Amino acid sequence: MTSTTVLSSSFRGVTIPGKMMTLRRLPSGMPVPKFATWKDGVPDLAVMNPEYFRRALTGRLCWICGNKLGRFAAFVGGPKSAASGHYTEAPCHKECAEFAAQVCPYIVTGKNMRRAVSAEVCEMLETGGDTNNPEVFGITISDDWSFDRSTMLFSLRNVVEILWWKHGRPATKEEACRAAVLGHAAVVALAEQQGRPPSTVRSFLKDGPYPKQVSAA
Q: pLDDT digits over 65-111, tens only?
A: 999 999 999 999 999 999 999 999 999 999 999 999 999 888 887 65
Listed by start position, the domains of the chain span 4-200
- The predicted-structure confidence for 55-69, as pLDDT tens digits, reads as follows 999 999 999 999 999
Global pTM value: 0.85
- Reference 91, options 148, 145, 51; nearest CA is 145
Q: Is 74 helix (H, G, I), strand (E, B) or coil?
A: strand
- DSSP label at residue 6: G
β-pair partners for 154: 87, 147
CA quadruple 15, 27, 170, 189: dihedral sign: negative
